[in-house]
């Protein structure tokens, strides 16, 4: 994925008919699934965040109309390489008795 901020923002406008300058996060995944880029406008300027996983792939939701809305916790899991559709706790609280 060679696209930068401007071309990704243009894709948001042309392909999805949305305004990339209103403060929403827009996330794009590379073809192999191990790279994602996030663009965000904070009211002052556009930011580009990129992350490549060393192992594994990003679990990507299936889009019905080209755009998918996910929660902040789903995004956090996705960026950590966790399957956000079925997260598993790594510990269980002990029951005092």
**Does residue 86 lie in a domain region?**
no
Q: Report the percent of the chain where pLDDT is more than 90.
A: 42
Q: Give the bridge partners for 38, in sequence order.
A: 27, 49
Mean pLDDT for 81-97 is 72
**Does residue 31 lie in a domain region?**
yes
Strands 35-41 and 25-29: antiparallel
User: 53: domain range?
Assistant: 5-79
27-62 pLDDT per residue, tens = 998 889 899 999 999 999 999 999 998 888 888 877
Between the alpha carbon of residue 6 and those of residues 10, 19, 55, 72, 78, the distances in Å are 6, 13, 29, 24, 24
Query: What is the model's pTM?
Result: 0.77
**Does residue 94 lie in a domain region?**
no
**Does residue 19 lie in a domain region?**
yes
**Does residue 24 lie in a domain region?**
yes
4-23 pLDDT per residue, tens = 999 999 999 998 899 999 99
Q: What is the pLDDT of residue 97?
A: 58
**Does residue 84 lie in a domain region?**
no
**Does residue 40 lie in a domain region?**
yes
Count up the domains in the chain and report the number. 1
């Amino acid at each position: 994925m060679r696209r930068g901020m401007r071309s990704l923002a243009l894709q948001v406008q042309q392909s999805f008919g949305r305004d990339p300058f209103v403060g929403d996060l827009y996330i794009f995944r590379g073809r192999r699934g191990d790279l994602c880029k996030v663009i965000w406008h904070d009211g002052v300027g556009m930011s580009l965040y990129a992350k490549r996983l060393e192992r594994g792939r990003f679990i990507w939701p299936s889009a019905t109309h080209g755009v998918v809305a996910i929660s902040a916790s789903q995004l956090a899991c996705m960026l950590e390489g966790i399957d956000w559709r079925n997260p598993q706790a790594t510990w269980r609280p002990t029951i005092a008795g």
